Structure 1
Amino acid sequence: MTGLAISTQRLVHIYRTEGHDVAALSGVDLDVAAGEVVGLLGPSGAGKSTLLSLLGGLFRPSAGKIFVGADELSSVSASRLDELRAAHVALMLQGAGRNLLPYLTARDNVAFAQDGARRAGVAVPGVGEVLGHVGLDAEADLPLEQLTPGHQQLAALAVCVATAPGVLLADEPTSQLDHEAADRVLATIGRINRELGTTVVLVTHNPDVAARLPRTVTIRDGKIGGEGRSGEEYAVVSADGFLPLPAHALADLPPGTLLRFHKERDVYQLLVEQAGNEQDRNEEDR
């Protein structure tokens, strides 16, 4: 299986809590190319895990569309959605134990994870091949309780890629690990991406993890709040013209600040007007 592209269009998700409707996502437009690695950043409650769950087909959005490969998740049949989740889209929950059966070894966990794909008629790699991808050959037959936290996380990763899925969705895969184990897990995810072509979307709060990713997307208040590319942060214009400012700019541009765009040749300049004064800001976009 090669990587699958992901696209969301004006994605909205509303849930009800304590008698009130809460918009977890408010019009998210996101495109992830097949084989790309993308990190989702943002404060707690911003909507990152909700977005990950929607991409994994755990529930349907309130509005908008989600495309994974050629499938639009809100319109596919229940049987096709089951097949996608069993074989093509893997969701790794936060905490290794939530992805593993504790009474089985890593080898048996991987074999169990492949059963659904086999029943759907999908060809799967050998168990030994999967364990080799994550570097667990020597620990494959040990009881899970004898594995280190880092090796348990690698076992969870092996379960998630047991079917060579086109998409891997990982929720905080390094949050409970020390620095050395976290490095090993990230390196293994990178190797899976390179060797299998799997598209990877992972949630993280760790700035060190984010710095190692080629692309990051920041979620703020249920919207795309910015993108990072090779260490540079960019604001992203949404389909409805919404332009969120980077968090660090808000200290200089408080609510009520007047902004104006000026185009000179092919360059846009953002002009800021405060108290009747016009100032050129160091922000340009082609």
Structure 2
Amino acid sequence: MSLIVAKELEKTYIAGDIKVHAIRGVDFTIAPASFVSFIGPSGSGKSTLLNMIGSLDPPTKGTLVVAGEEITSISRKEAARFRGEHIGFVFQDFNLIPVLTVAENVEYPLQMVQNWPKAKRRARVKEVLEAVGMSDQGPKFPSQISGGQKQRVAVARALVTNPKLVLADEPTANLDRETAGRIIDLMKKMRDEFSTTFVFSTHDPRIVENVEITFTLEDGKLLRDEKPMGGGHV
């Protein structure tokens, strides 16, 4: 069974009297426990596509089924519920809350989205911080840790709700080669341990070298996958 199925998916933005066709009738499927990347030049539609998969931006046309739910026309409230239950996000600028500690940043989705009891939250936070090698950094604030450590925290936060899918938009863009390599290895390890699907939007060849499927976007259109090693197809 596929985790993501997109059929004739389109996204059009209106800018004054101009229509911008960001995504033009794409079709693809992605299987569970996959490591997948969307690549292409700036403006090709990578981030738009990730936002649609994450129910942050509704498609203009087509169908999009993620984790067994048709999310094409769900309401904002339903979309928030859907994200909280099924999706984690990792961003290139980490998006950690500066006034919260590392542990509190990871715990935040459990409080705001899933409303777990305190004892259960703390146990889960401890588990994922240990999994990403940050168990001794919980009391620190984001300003007190390195860029690579911040991204580890971001990965832990994305995984804390046990999502079926993690969407990562340029997650290694601000990291040096060595640190980026460690983060990629960490995400592969998390995929193997938790069977979480990771879908990337990236320009980074270091990620492209490690994914199983590469979907190439150009002018909003999806070309054939360049690296069909498993996990999905066009």
1:105 aligns with 2:101: yes
Report the secondary structure of 2:226's partner residue: strand
Partner of 1:223: 221
CA shift at 1:18, angstroms?
4.6
Report the secondary structure of 2:14's partner residue: strand
State the alpha-carbon separation in 1 of the partners of residues 145 and 132 from structure 2.
Answer: 14
Which is richer in strand?
1
Partner of 1:53: 51
1:71-90 equivalence runs, <5 A: 71-90=69-88
CA shift at 1:89, angstroms?
1.1
Report the secondary structure of 2:148's partner residue: helix
Gaps of 5+ in 2: none
More contact order relative to length (CA 8 Å, sep ≥ 6): 2
Query: Would you say the 8 A contact 2:47–2:169 is kept in 1?
Result: yes
Report the secondary structure of 1:227's partner residue: coil
Partner of 2:152: 154
State the alpha-carbon separation in 1 of the partners of residues 127 and 57 from structure 2.
Answer: 32
CA shift at 1:75, angstroms?
3.7
Closer, same or farther: CA 64–120 of 1 in aligned 2, 3 Å: farther
Which is richer in helix?
2
Moved over 4 A (4+): none
Closer, same or farther: CA 22–75 of 1 in aligned 2, 3 Å: closer
Query: Would you say the 8 A contact 1:40–1:217 is kept in 2?
Result: yes
Partner of 2:136: 138
| Percent identical residues | 32
Query: Would you say the 8 A contact 1:35–1:199 is kept in 2?
Result: yes
Partner of 1:6: 4
Query: Would you say the 8 A contact 2:47–2:201 is kept in 1?
Result: yes
Report the secondary structure of 2:137's partner residue: coil
Size of the alignment, in residue pairs? Answer: 228
Gaps of 5+ in 1: 239-286
Query: What TM-score does the superposition give when structure 2 sets the normalisation length?
Result: 0.90
Partner of 1:94: 92
Report the secondary structure of 1:168's partner residue: strand
1:88-138 Cα deviation digits (max 9, x unpaired) = 112223311xx21111111011111211343389x8761101112211112
State the alpha-carbon separation in 1 of the partners of residues 143 and 161 from structure 2.
Answer: 24
State the alpha-carbon separation in 1 of the partners of residues 100 and 42 from structure 2.
Answer: 33
1:134-213 equivalence runs, <5 A: 134-213=132-211
State the alpha-carbon separation in 2 of the partners of residues 130 and 83 from structure 1.
Answer: 22
1:209-252 Cα deviation digits (max 9, x unpaired) = 21121211111111112312268xxxx8x7xxxxxxxxxxxxxx
What is the identity, as a one-letter code, of the residue corresponding to 1:131? L
State the alpha-carbon separation in 2 of the partners of residues 199 and 149 from structure 1.
Answer: 24
Partner of 1:274: none
State the alpha-carbon separation in 1 of the partners of residues 116 and 223 from structure 2.
Answer: 39
1:6-25 equivalence runs, <5 A: 6-25=4-23
What is the identity, as a one-letter code, of the residue corresponding to 2:192? R
Larger Rg: 1
Query: What TM-score does the superposition give when structure 1 sets the normalisation length?
Result: 0.74
The CA RMSD measured in Å over matched residues stands at: 2.2
State the alpha-carbon separation in 2 of the partners of residues 120 and 25 from structure 1.
Answer: 37
